[in-house]
A = this chain, B = another copy of it.
């Protein structure tokens, strides 16, 4: 094999992290065994310990590497919709019924949150991430406001937190009861927070 050691190592690391993400999401952080994760990555538990030292080490590394590409993708897709309700609908759909492997993303977020609840270091990292997300959302909304697309009834500096909160909370309820929390509910909430005066009926 013409692979350098560094490449080999990096590849294994990536595989392990990806497998860890999938397993943690599927079985829970506690429910996922190191062996299962290593298997998924076509490696063995020994390599996990060579790389991360412990299960907690693996989790912290994951937390560190874990950029929610899905959030980025969602924003991108959102921009393509012409009308404002269309954009909001796209946003919600990416959250509620994510395409492809996006589903495990949301689940993992919750696992990490609950873990962070009990571990100060993880909490700090997650807190940073959420700060970033709020800031991104706030900036984006600031532009929309400036361009007159939305007229939120709240100050920009709280808008990020509120939108994130609403989406998370709606998604949680949606998971328990998809029929009760549908797109209509989500759009109403987003529109209220953003000051979108529901111009016409939403076209699906």
Contact = CB atoms under 8 A, between A and B. Distances in A.
Given A131-B180, A168-B168, A193-B189, A114 B28 contact: yes
A165 interface: yes
B176 A130 contact: yes
Nearest to A181: B161
Which one of A30, A126, A172 has the greatest number of beta carbons of chain B within 10 Å? A172
Interface string A182-203: 0011001101110000000000
Contact of A169 (B127, B131, B169, B180): B169
Interface in A159-174: 161-162, 164-170, 172-173
Given A176-B116, A193-B192, A193-B193, A165 B170 contact: yes
Interface in A137-162: 152-155, 158, 161-162
6 shortest A-B CB distances, which residue pairs?
A165-B169, A30-B30, A169-B169, A168-B169, A127-B176, A162-B189
Interface of A: 28, 30-31, 107, 110-111, 113-114, 116-118, 123, 126-127, 130-131, 134, 152-155, 158, 161-162, 164-170, 172-173, 175-177, 180-181, 184-185, 188-189, 191-193
30 contacts: A28-B30, A30-B30, A30-B31, A110-B117, A127-B177, A130-B173, A130-B177, A131-B180, A154-B188, A154-B192, A155-B188, A158-B184, A158-B185, A158-B188, A158-B189, A161-B170, A161-B181, A162-B166, A162-B170, A162-B192, A164-B169, A165-B167, A165-B169, A165-B172, A165-B189, A168-B169, A168-B172, A169-B169, A189-B193, A193-B193
